[in-house]
Structure 1
Amino acid sequence: MTRVHLHPGGRLDLATGALAPRLLSRSRGGARVALVGARALLLAGDDVTLDVVVGAGCALELVEVAGTVAFDQRGGAAASWCVRVRLDEGARLTWQGEPFVVADGAAVERRTDVDLARGAVALLRETLVLGRTGERGGALLSRTRVHLDGRPLLAEDLDLRDAALRASPAVLGTARCLDTVALLGARPAGGEPDALHLAGPGALDRRLTLDAHSSDLGAVWRRRLALLEPAGAPADRAATVAAG
């Protein structure tokens, strides 16, 4: 299991699993950490778990140095990719993930669990790509669960295991890429009617495209990021974020 725990005062607890965390920079209340593949990923039967904890009032930025490819598993067991995140009161997490590509013949189950304390905010980007160039892509089941102050904020299951069903206009249609920017624990300033606003403080911006580079969510990410103070600044002074 890969572990990235940031404690008040800037103390870091890092452990290498399938991913190796590498410290890029650190301040008293914040840190920037890169995630580097410690071995070839993803292969049949791989079980990748990332455990992230950000202490009260701290700010963590996670950086991926490269995308991830789930390779043809040639009939082997499905691979799993599990991310567990806990943000304590007033904590901040930003993580702009690189493309996660599910190649032909791959079977992957992804799980993301985010537990936010009061006043905590997570800004996450997830880019799922079915197949490399010229491929239709393998089977993908993605589940996301988010809780804020002990109450459900987001529960979403995305089942893309059946190639025929996912080609429906109600699912992906002709698209191969599902790109999402999730702001969790706060509302976008000004409302932003194009976003999918959650019942609680949070919003999803989502694009369906043929290729990852065709998505325009880079601009949305920068706009959301501008709402948050840089890593290392006191998290409770992000005045432009309309929490609640």
Structure 2
Amino acid sequence: MTPSGVRAAARIVARGDGRGGTALPVLEGEGPLAPRRTRASGAEARVVLVGAMGGPLGGDRFTVEAQVGEEARLDVRSAAATIALPGQSKGEARYDVRLSVADGGELRWLPEPLISAGGSDLSVTTRVELAAGARLVLREEQVLGRAGEEPGRLGSRLTVRIAGRTVLDQELACGPGAPGGWDGPAVLAGHRAMGQLLVARPEFGEGPPVARMLGDSAALTPLAGPAVLVTALAVDGLMLRRLLDRALALLG
């Protein structure tokens, strides 16, 4: 820990074990980031990120990295929601996620929601690098404020590259100090939970799903690569999860 906050990193590396399964030659974390291998089935390895401390708090810097090699299958989840909180330091907290998947590898990145508590200030960046033959399911869920609470400031950016080509680069800022209009009808329209589901599969290159609405507040959009993006808004985290689960079931 430093006077300006906690610095912590976690790293996960998954490799095919040569016997049809997945090995984890690197599984390490520090401070509040504790990755733990849990029971899985078949060729998949499953890891749960356990929060050993509260936060991120103001001034904290967290980094999580996952690398999936050829023919490896990795499922990563978190034990509980991540709650961004105000801290003694008034500085911005940062949470950086770096994901990469090689040809023939598969990653399911399904953490619990991120909750932006009142008074917090958090910037989240997720960068994904996929080979042309990689497979990915990525879910992001963000809830603005706890029950009856105004949110903190939350900035979020998601960048996805497939075979060296950028197919998605989007950014959103919400809460106090964010550009005007973030809560207006063109953005969140009063909703307090927002999420997205990114699914990349090589077969989408030949026959991607058709763009369509999934109810009143969710939409499926094919990207300019073998991937689709589902974006959704909801009144709370529970309804958001239901929307994204239905979208994933629809994609098969």
CA gap 1:179/1:167 in 2 versus in 1, 3 angstroms: same
CA distance in 1 between partners of 2:42 and 2:209 (Å): 33
CA gap 1:164/1:119 in 2 versus in 1, 3 angstroms: same
Gaps of 5+ in 1: 227-244
CA RMSD across the alignment: 2.0
* Structure 2 counterparts to residues 64-79 of structure 1, below 5 A: 64-73=78-87, 76-79=90-93
Find the partner of 2:67 among 49, 53, 56. 53
What corresponds to 1:158 in structure 2? 172
2:196 is the alignment partner of 1:183: no
Classify the secondary structure of the residue corresponding to 1:114.
Answer: strand
Q: Deviations over 1:120-175 (max 9, x none)?
A: 01101111111111122011111111111111111111122527521111111211
2:216 is the alignment partner of 1:193: no
Find the partner of 2:129 among 115, 120, 144. 115
Classify the secondary structure of the residue corresponding to 2:211.
Answer: coil
2:20 is the alignment partner of 1:7: no
Q: Identity of aligned pairs, percent? A: 32
What is the CA distance between 1:118 and its match in structure 2? 1.8
Structure 2 counterpart of 1:210, one-letter code: V
What corresponds to 2:5 in structure 1? none
What is the CA distance between 1:38 and its match in structure 2? 2.1
Whether contact under 8 Å (1:148, 1:185) holds in the other structure is: no
What is the CA distance between 1:43 and its match in structure 2? 1.0
185-194 or 153-162: bigger deviation: 185-194
What corresponds to 1:220 in structure 2? 247
What corresponds to 2:29 in structure 1? 16
Q: Structure 1: which 4+ aligned runs deviate by more than 4 Å?
A: 26-29
CA distance in 1 between partners of 2:190 and 2:83 (Å): 21
Classify the secondary structure of the residue corresponding to 1:11.
Answer: strand
What corresponds to 2:215 in structure 1? none
What corresponds to 1:141 in structure 2? 155
What is the CA distance between 1:199 and its match in structure 2? 1.5
What corresponds to 1:202 in structure 2? 227
Structure 2 counterpart of 1:22, one-letter code: R
TM-score (ref. length: structure 1): 0.85
What is the CA distance between 1:185 and its match in structure 2? 4.2
What corresponds to 1:167 in structure 2? 183
Per chain length, whose mean CA-contact separation is higher, i.e. which structure has more relative contact order (CA < 8 Å, sep 6+)? Answer: 1
Gaps of 5+ in 2: 1-8, 213-219
CA distance in 2 between partners of 1:221 and 1:73 (Å): 36
Q: Deviations over 1:58-106 (max 9, x none)?
A: 1100121110110123661111110001101111011222110001111
Structure 2 counterpart of 1:123, one-letter code: V
Classify the secondary structure of the residue corresponding to 1:35.
Answer: strand
TM-score (ref. length: structure 2): 0.83
Paired positions, count: 225
